Chains A and B, each alone.
Chain A
């Protein structure tokens, strides 16, 4: 017989837990749900658009009754559980019916806090919480004129806006002088106040309500300062309180909420709780995203997988209130130890404030233009050293330039057919439709359903904006830390530390020790783990099956399943014999396209897999080795002609480029790594958009790091200047080694340096001479094993992997 799981509370958090549970263990439980309201599960966040007349109740249903039937769930909508008997594991309803449970999930939510004012029980005094409240407001708006909303928080403003749209004359009463003081500072609040007043809302700021008066129904609100205002309706929106009475009456430990541990378990191990009713490590919750995180964790434990933990940390809030975009995160007020960067353009209704402490971003408020919220939040979460970008960071990440979607930084005004994701051709309309149709709440869900921002990721900010504006008031881009992939809750950094600290030597040991959810991992974590092990342990045996195909067969797969072959041409310098050999080999294998690459190499495109080893044998014979154009590895060293020919050249840039390439080729790195050497500051080799660039000057060599072309063009940071070629090479080896050891897999040098800060790189590579020599030494040592040509080896020993196992017909 199946165990009985009973959910009390048919709201978003509880039902989301069931959805997650059904994904993990669809057959495990016999599930019953009790809900107070006579509906299926609806999206409470969307009540404001219902009030404003933009949506109907049907449109905000997440799971209708059919969903419960389809999933074999018994729904008792409108039945109230009044007693929990934990000894007998039974529940009692108001009507005296009794139900058994084996596991109980409490998701009783919260209720609006009603100020204990005289007159609060008068007809016409309501809260803003459920469909009944919305209906009551809509009814009132038909026959009455004046409304007062007590509370200038998010919910209060939404209610006020909705009532105004329904034709009422609305006054918002707020006790403080800052609207939404949980999310905004004074200047942002003032902008908002102006904008809302212009729309027609009235405000009484710094007003404390003393009483509500009226005979048959509410007639006026009286304030402590002696003034009063006439009204026909009072909506109280001064906060929420967790619903804990049921749990409390059953003797389950409660403080402000039902106290749960990191697994969402209450003090009774048979009873779990999620959502707005819980208190976790002292915090209670009101936004949707943390609830969904809790749902995931709780489902994991209900499915007896037992590996997830709920950890709340700094959160950011991205809101759309009455059509105004807001974002806030962290400590956005600041104190004596912090510095503020402020941008204000009152005419455009834009305000941005960043709070910096010890060169790190610790808080942000954005009003009107929130496109960079996700970026700022990332900087905060990663503790990035922002000293090098602070002069520009207020203007946002797009200030650096994103290719693919021009200078678009706001999605609101775009038409539905505007392309948001240039990689996968996904338009605004597609994304909005997917969000509403499939009830998507997170960026990852949008990626999975639409592919928007699933490729290069440069449109992530725009997609998040669309989520915020489509979901309305309560979108919150959660994850407190970024898990490596769906197989684990650990981040890249945590996995790397565990490899070293626990001495994990193989992928299977690692997955076992770190409780990987899928025994084989997935296509996203396996290549990363293979790289981390490879770069940590010199004797690690590379796992070809955990490499992306390009690195497994040492060639680049093309859209038709053929491959491209790029022989190494040292420093981009070749000669007639080499070119002749390439021409002959191209003829022999009927290569359809021969192209010069951006990195000064020759690309032979359209080669069949069977031909690869034969072609490599021929190329080896002509003296070529693999060009690694396919790998997360040193790609090319691009050079200009330098002092040998150029009338401006100051040093032998080609010669140095060849030496650097001979030193670095064959090395595996977290992402591709490009080098260039220019012979003078005219910089014809474009060294200042490479991962490592050398610009020769008359007195020596300028070393530049962390540049790239591509999605976000980033010019290099100046690392230092050295006097000799030998030094330039040593610094190059040390820098590459530091990058290899320190960066996350698939993190190029540009984002890596932005994350750790140029100063920390300079400290380790430039200022600490011993450390530089040690880094360089580790690089040289690992290169001793890496510089065997994989082409020659595969051509000699692995031909069978390139041909069919069998041919029939």
Chain B
């Protein structure tokens, strides 16, 4: 059984953008793509812990604002020759509300 936490309405996250959700373990970045898909990653780049929530989002990827590592939103894996992975969380959207499984 997954334990779903309500995050908020989809529209409160900008398309091709992100908002953070703060948790006792640190921030979680909630992303919304141009196709309205929602993803959640621990808000730290595997490279130098840059806040991924502040990066530029395209397709299902985000470019870290510190050194432009590109992280896959669904897996949390760094793309291309860079290697590293950040924790990802399951999300779902129901009745216009985002839910996350922490």
Contacts and interface: CB of A to CB of B under 8 A. Distances in A.
A559 B48 contact: yes
Interface string B13-27: 111110111111001
Indicate the size class of the contact surface on chain A.
20 to 34
B36 interface: no
Contacts of B24: 808-809
Q: Which of A519, A559, A808 neighbours the largest number of chain B CB atoms within 10 Å of its CB?
A: A808
Given A561-B50, A808-B102, A526 B56 contact: yes
Contacts of A544: 14, 17
Interface string A778-809: 00000000000000000000001100111111
Interface string A440-460: 000000001100000000000
A433 to B, nearest CB: 13
B65 A548 contact: yes
Nearest to A450: B81
Contact of A549 (B8, B27, B65): B65
A807 B81 CA distance: 35
Given A561-B50, A808-B22, A545 B81 contact: no
Contacts of A448: 80-81
A523 B68 contact: yes
B65 A805 contact: no
Given A545-B16, A559-B66, A807 B59 contact: no
B16 A804 contact: no
Q: Which of A549, A559, A807 has the most CB of B within 10 A?
A: A549
A522 interface: yes
* Residue among A449, A545, A548, A809 having the largest count of chain B Cβ atoms under 10 Å: A545
B66 A546 contact: no
Nearest to A448: B81
A808 B13 contact: no
A800 B50 CA distance: 21
A526 B17 CA distance: 13
A560 B16 CA distance: 23
A519 B34 CA distance: 9
Given A518-B59, A520-B34, A808 B5 contact: yes
Contacts of A809: 23-24
A557 B16 CA distance: 19
B76 interface: no
B41 interface: no
Interface in B56-102: 56-59, 63, 65-66, 68, 70, 80-81, 102
Interface in B30-70: 30, 33-34, 48-51, 54-59, 63, 65-66, 68, 70
Nearest to A526: B56
A800 to B, nearest CB: 7
A526 B34 CA distance: 14
Given A523-B70, A526-B56, A545 B17 contact: yes
Contact of B59 (A449, A520, A560): A520
B56 A557 contact: no
Contacts of A557: 51, 54, 65-66
A560 B48 CA distance: 9
B13 to A, nearest CB: 7
A423 B24 CA distance: 35
Interface in A516-544: 518-523, 526-527, 544
A523 B61 CA distance: 10
B80 A545 contact: no
A314 B24 CA distance: 59
A805 B56 contact: no
Given A549-B65, A805-B7, A519 B59 contact: yes
A130 to B, nearest CB: 31
B69 to A, nearest CB: 10
Nearest to A806: B21
Contacts of A801: 14, 19
| Residue picked from B21, B56, B68, B80, most chain A C-beta under 10 Å | B56
B55 A549 contact: yes
B33 to A, nearest CB: 8
B59 A804 contact: no
Contacts of B63: 522-523
Interface residues of B, number: 38
Nearest to B45: A561
B99 to A, nearest CB: 11
Nearest to B27: A804
A438 B48 CA distance: 24
Interface string A550-579: 001100010111000000000000000000
B48 A805 contact: no
A809 B8 CA distance: 16
A526 B62 CA distance: 13
Given A526-B56, A549-B55, A804 B5 contact: no
Most A CB contacts (10 A, CB to CB) among B5, B24, B27, B65 go to B65
B56 A546 contact: yes
A800 B14 CA distance: 12
Determine which residue in B8, B24, B54, B80 has the highest number of CB atoms from chain A within 10 A of its CB, and name it: B54
Nearest to B6: A806
Nearest to A809: B24
A806 B30 CA distance: 10
A549 B54 contact: yes
Interface in A348-390: none
Contacts of A545: 14-17, 56-57
A522 B58 contact: yes
A554 B76 CA distance: 28
Given A448-B80, A448-B81, A518 B58 contact: yes
Nearest to B15: A545
A606 B56 CA distance: 22
A545 B65 CA distance: 13
Nearest to A449: B81
A194 to B, nearest CB: 43
B19 A804 contact: yes
A805 B13 contact: yes
Contact of B21 (A527, A561, A805): A805
A520 B6 CA distance: 28
A544 B57 CA distance: 11
A805 B57 contact: no
Nearest to B65: A549
Nearest to B24: A809
Contacts of A438: 81
Contacts of B68: 523
A449 B78 CA distance: 13
A804 B56 contact: no
**Most chain B beta carbons < 10 A, residue from A545, A559, A805:** A805
B21 A526 contact: no
A546 B58 CA distance: 9
A557 B80 CA distance: 25
Nearest to B98: A805
Nearest to A561: B51
Nearest to B12: A805
Contact of A806 (B7, B49, B57, B58): B7
A526 B61 CA distance: 14
A86 B72 CA distance: 44
Interface in A174-224: none
27 contacts: A449-B81, A519-B34, A520-B33, A520-B34, A520-B59, A522-B58, A522-B63, A523-B55, A526-B58, A545-B15, A545-B56, A546-B56, A548-B56, A559-B48, A559-B66, A560-B49, A800-B12, A804-B19, A804-B20, A804-B27, A805-B19, A806-B6, A806-B7, A806-B8, A808-B5, A808-B21, A808-B23
* 5 nearest A-B pairs in the assembled complex, by CB-CB distance: A523-B63, A520-B58, A809-B24, A805-B19, A523-B56
Given A561-B49, A804-B20, 19 more contacts: A448-B81, A519-B59, A523-B68, A526-B56, A526-B58, A544-B17, A545-B15, A545-B17, A546-B56, A552-B54, A557-B54, A561-B51, A801-B14, A805-B21, A806-B7, A806-B22, A807-B21, A807-B23, A808-B21
